[in-house]
Amino acid sequence: MAWRWPEIGPPSTEDRLAGRFATVALRWRLAPAEWRATAAGAASALGCIAIAGDAPLACTIETGWESPAYGEVVPVPVLVARASASITRIETIISLP
């Protein structure tokens, strides 16, 4: 019998927020691909990232930076989810093709 991943659904992570803040931004650096913004996050041929919270979120795809080697900096797509101080929980779900 071949081993299989348990049927528990797509990978996800939950961030809990507390304390005093006016706004919050959660950033996911994305693999190089043709990413497009969706109502809940971002999607490409590589997969889909959906972000939800207990308060409204605004998701955008922006240009960020990474350093693959010392002294080298290259642009990368970044999914950014922003929210106001009323948010206490953010869940990110990653779906692969």
Q: Mean pLDDT, consecutive 10-residue segments, the chain of 97 residues?
A: 54 88 93 92 95 93 93 95 90 90
Work out the burial of residue 75: count CB atoms within 10 Å of its CB; fewer than 13 is exposed, 13-18 middle, 19 or more buried.
Answer: exposed
Domains in the chain: how many in total? 1
Residue 27 forms part of a structural domain? yes
pLDDT for the residue numbered 85: 78
Residue 6 forms part of a structural domain? no
pLDDT for the residue numbered 13: 87
For the whole prediction, is pTM greater than 0.85?
no
Residue 38 forms part of a structural domain? yes
pLDDT for the residue numbered 10: 73
Bridge partners of 31, per DSSP, are none
